[in-house]
Amino acid sequence: MYKGKKVIVVMPAYNAAKTLEKTYKEIPFPLVDEVVLCDDASKDNTKDLAREIGINHVIVHEKNKGYGGNQKSLYNKALELGGDIVIMLHPDYQYTPKLIPAMVNIIGDELYPVVLGSRILGKGALKGGMPLYKYIANRFLTMTQNFLINYKLSEYHTGYRAFSGDVLRGISFNSNSDDFVFDNEMLSQIVYAGFDIAEVTCPTKYFEEASSINFVRSSKYGLGVLRVSASHWLQRMGLAKFSMYQKPN
């Protein structure tokens, strides 16, 4: 708990057995009340290991639902458990759990309702091993998104995110894609709904066991990001209406 607020860490997992325990052991207990892991039809023993190391809430998808589908299950479960502060932590150890206290503090003290762990702030992305083509694409897409969405972030593509329960209840994330573009749809919804976003510098780690998408998937993701940004601009300018920006029932 943090000042009476329930803190839940959610972990979207796919073939994460090699790094899950290392990531889990660095979670700052007892600040974190609950951990929820969703195994998206892994081909290894991720779900069994999750239970062995003490994760009480393990969701198992019998068929792979995708990165966005995984997050939907996690956020719905976190809200069901009464989460006031919900942090998404990838179990591949690409993002350090040691930043959780800072993210919880920002939301718990009501400074900002959303916190992103930015790999771009501090110029550590390339130093940490981010491929050059991904770095260039990140900078181009972020520049385009800042213009079309009318917000200012150092990057929109980090997977390290923390939300207040009010934010999750205030956007229609269940209507989003089940693929990787889910992350950008969610940020677009958050900005459109008027929630402010903070960023903290996050060390970058790229290594063999860390999850990453290939060039083809990255290209598809980039086109999806541009589509979301254009939709946001059209919605903001009153030129079109998209169901993703409607408030949930």
- pLDDT 10s digits, 121-160: 876 677 777 778 888 988 999 999 999 999 999 999 999 9
Contact 83, 34 (CB under 8 A): yes
Separation of alpha carbons 213 and 195, rounded Å: 29
The C-alpha atoms of residue 98 and residue 95 are separated, in whole angstroms, by 9
Q: Which residues of the chain have pLDDT under 50?
A: none
Q: 1 lies in a domain? A: no
Contact 78, 5 (CB under 8 A): no
Q: Where are the alpha helices (DSSP H) in 26-181?
A: 46-52, 66-80, 100-108, 132-149, 165-170
| Domain annotation covers residue 47 | yes
Domain count, the chain: 1
Instruction: Answer whether residue 36 is part of any domain.
Output: yes
pLDDT of residue 210: 56
Q: Which residue has the tokens 């919605």?
A: 235
48 located within any domain: yes
Q: Residue 79 carries which side chain, given as an amino acid letter?
A: L
Domain for residue 224, yes or no?
Answer: yes
Q: Give domain status of residue 2, yes or no.
A: no
The confidence score (pLDDT) of residue 131 equals 78
The whole domain housing 217 covers: 7-245
What is the domain-level CATH number for residue 91?
3.90.550.10
pLDDT given for residue 134 in this prediction:
83
Classify residue 139: in a domain, yes or no.
Answer: yes
* Cβ count near 82 (within 10 Å): 12
What is the pLDDT, as a whole number, of residue 126?
74
Closest listed residue to residue 204, CA positions, set 104, 111, 123: 123
Give the pLDDT of residue 217: 80
Cβ neighbors of 221 (< 8 A, separation 6 or more) are 179, 180, 181, 213
Instruction: Assess if residue 146 is contained within a domain.
Output: yes
Cβ contact 78:10 at 8 Å: yes
